[in-house]
Amino acid sequence: MKTILFNPFQKYSEKQLFLFGWLLTILASSLSLFFNGRFDGVIDLHFVEKTSFITASLDFVICIGILTLLLFITGKMINKKTRFIDILVASLIAKIPFYFLLFFNINNKMFIITQKLMDTISQKKELNIETLDMSLIVFSAIATFICMIWSMILLFNGFKTATNIKETKHILLFILSVIIAEVLSKIILFKLN
């Protein structure tokens, strides 16, 4: 079970993982419409008042595309035998933990709570949040942190399998590539919206 959750690249072929990753990405794209979630960064999910099919699709294509491209270039610098499909699979599979977070926005609840909190802060009012709402915020924050760690473990293990990295400088290149991908995806999606 540990291998399936954290390193499925050891157990399944790239074709199986590619199919699974794309199917879940299509499902998550549909769910993001229903739950008004935007995957507007490589390691991001934000809830909005309303999203559209085009916006949701662009979020996925740009974020997964940029991450895959940057990690592929980095992978080729590390190991000339790095294959594009292996990096794409790692990018697709690594996004899956974030899909579970969509369920926090049932009936736009997280969006409404977040908006109320932001309005309170911007207007410098006294913080007045119900206990149930505060519990949801705390639980959501913990779940987000766990999913982010899980996602990074999956991405690293997929990248490691694809490139056969062994040195610390390669790990640092991986981290730098993910950070650059996050920044680029944010800038591109901001300009498109």
88-113 pLDDT tens trace:
999 999 999 999 999 999 999 999 99
Within a domain: 187:
yes
Residue 137 lies in domain: 8-192
Q: What is the pLDDT of residue 130?
A: 85
Within a domain: 33:
yes
Within a domain: 95:
yes
What average pLDDT does the chain have?
Answer: 94
pLDDT tens track for 133-144: 899 999 999 999
pLDDT tens track for 40-58: 999 999 999 999 999 999 9
Within a domain: 1:
no
Within a domain: 3:
no
Average pLDDT over residues 74-89: 98
Within a domain: 76:
yes
Within a domain: 2:
no
pLDDT at 122 over 90: no
Query: What residues contact 146, with CB distance under 8 A and at least 6 apart?
Result: 97
pLDDT at 171 over 90: yes
Query: What residues contact 92, with CB distance under 8 A and at least 6 apart?
Result: 17, 18, 21, 22, 24, 25, 64
The answer to whether the beta carbons of residues 152 and 30 sit under 8 Å apart is no
pLDDT at 128 over 80: no
Ramachandran area for residue 180 (φ above 0: left; ψ -120 to 50: alpha; else beta): alpha
Within a domain: 49:
yes
Per the structure, how many domains does the chain have?
A: 1
